[in-house]
Structure 1
Amino acid sequence: MATFRLAGADDAHAPGTIILDARAATQYWAGHIPAARHIDPALLVLARTDRASIERFHTLLAWTLSSLGLTTCTPVLVTGAENEVNVARVAWALAYAGVEQVSVLDGGIKAWQGELSVDAPQVKPARFELRVQDAYLATADDVLAASGQGTLVLDAREWDDYAGKRSNARRAGRVPGARFWDTRQELDGLGRFASTTQVSQAAGALGAAGKTIVYCGGGGRAARTFLALQLAGLAGTAVYPASWNEWGNVDAYPVDATPLSA
């Protein structure tokens, strides 16, 4: 299992650490932390969670991390423009792939006080051998079985999506039994991650203690909630990466469409 931590600018200089920049390519080439390597978070989107889709995701994930010169033992520091969902998506994917030490530059590139570089880093590809951490990924079948197994399901979309007033999919509503998670409580007033005490108390109020599955619209916000909960010590948290994009478009998956008021 991975070790997650928040990092400061000084951690970028730690020996052996590889920095991954999850911003758009145009932003990256306009100026990045020296030696940082660019990763496109769009490569890490998993639209369906059937076996064939997950196997294709494994192939792409191994290829991507190999091309970046990573191994599971490589300490990785992920940064972005700020603490946006794409940073968390990369952090989640690294941990799922088996990377043992995953850090996030809290506050993103704005927290970097040094000079920026426009040079292409020297990257020596390495053979990345996946050590898949199944506990970090939930499939649609896992979500279906959640209530019978005592697993908490958190909906990290905005309230109007959770309440069934709008939807990014064909059907509106929520996974039956899912609890609403307000993602705004993951960050403080400065855009840094909120204290682990605040996050753990908010999660505890919803019943998060053991196994928890988080979903959103397309997996990004769920990944940041996953990261916030992992940092708060809730190691049993998993992401349903296909989220409502899959669930809301497949009639076989039940939907609670009962209208809710704020």
Structure 2
Amino acid sequence: MNAIISASDLASQLAGENPPVLLDVRWQLSVAKAAGEPSFDGRAEYAAGHIPGAVFVDLDRELAATPGTGGRHPLPDLAEFGAAMRRAGVSSGTPVVVYDGGQGWAAARAWWLLRWTGHPDVRVLDGGLPAWQGGLSTEVPEPAEGDFEPVPGATGLLDADGAAALARSGVLLDARAGERYRGEVEPIDPVGGHIPGAVSAPTNENVGADGRFLPAEELGARFKALGVSDGSEVGVYCGSGVSAAHEVLALAVAGIPAALYVGSWSQWSSDPSRPVAVGPEPQ
């Protein structure tokens, strides 16, 4: 099943007999969050105009738990996540499309959570809201309660020990900017650098200038150049488990399954017992 959908296909499906549930997850990381301030959650932008029928979902409150030992965006309580999805009208038998302001990170987080907890049909709007060619609405929908019950998957999720092991046995991709991977700068977390053995793979290189994903064959070639081969076990992490979900989505577009280390560098770097590598090489 395709993991992304074009704006034109979304418009057609919204006008069809079985329209998807539409989730607006506009959000942007704030460096100030490290000081305890909230991230930009897009609620005001949603109120000012959204794709008709879309329900707003708050990443920090509904797609993540309170920051702590699990990192800045740990897994949400699954009962609370399920309740939030049902309030948004999500049912197991109805397709879901998620979009954000164009960066794709927040939409990918929602996509990954829904897929990991068992929803069979979730896609991300390629290019986000900027790709939408239709009109916008300020009307807040009141969807019928959905029936989705999240059931966590047996695979697809890494903890710190699993990420460390995968960096040696498979391919662990670091989705952050290269300078953070190398340890040259670290604007948010206590220590710069990367998990020993991880390969630098900035997530912004998965998309073109328009914010849309590169074609599947180009993505496949990119990941092959980073060491991913047929049968490779692949994992991804980032700063807090959000942009890494976007890389997991890019891998899915290329037909490559991958696991997500949700705690990511925010969890890893907060534990002084964990080793840290610096420089351009995995080590």
Map of 1:220 onto structure 2? 242
Kept in 1, the 8 Å contact 2:4–2:126? The answer is no
In the alignment, structure 2 segments of 5+ residues that lack a partner are: 27-41
AA in 2 matched with 1:92: W
In structure 2, the residue corresponding to 1:146 is in which secondary structure?
helix
Map of 2:233 onto structure 1? 211
1:90 aligns with 2:110: yes
Aligned residues, how many? 254
Percent identity reads 31
Map of 1:230 onto structure 2? 252
1:66 aligns with 2:86: yes
Q: For residues 124 and 181 of structure 1, do their structure 2 counterparts lie closer, same or farther at Cα, with a shift above 3 Å needed?
A: same
Map of 1:20 onto structure 2? 23
Kept in 1, the 8 Å contact 2:166–2:233? The answer is no
In the alignment, structure 1 segments of 5+ residues that lack a partner are: none
Kept in 2, the 8 Å contact 1:83–1:193? The answer is no
Q: For residues 9 and 36 of structure 1, do their structure 2 counterparts lie closer, same or farther at Cα, with a shift above 3 Å needed?
A: farther
2:267 alignment partner, one of 216, 221, 246? 246
CA distance in 2, matches of 1:122, 1:147: 45
CA distance in 1, matches of 2:280, 2:167: 21
CA distance in 1, matches of 2:163, 2:98: 28
Q: What TM-score, normalized to structure 2?
A: 0.82
CA distance in 2, matches of 1:108, 1:27: 14
Q: What TM-score, normalized to structure 1?
A: 0.89
CA distance in 2, matches of 1:145, 1:111: 39
CA distance in 2, matches of 1:131, 1:73: 15
CA distance in 2, matches of 1:20, 1:113: 17
In structure 1, the residue corresponding to 2:243 is in which secondary structure?
helix
CA distance in 2, matches of 1:114, 1:188: 22
Q: For residues 177 and 81 of structure 1, do their structure 2 counterparts lie closer, same or farther at Cα, with a shift above 3 Å needed?
A: same
RMSD between superposed Cα atoms in Å: 2.1
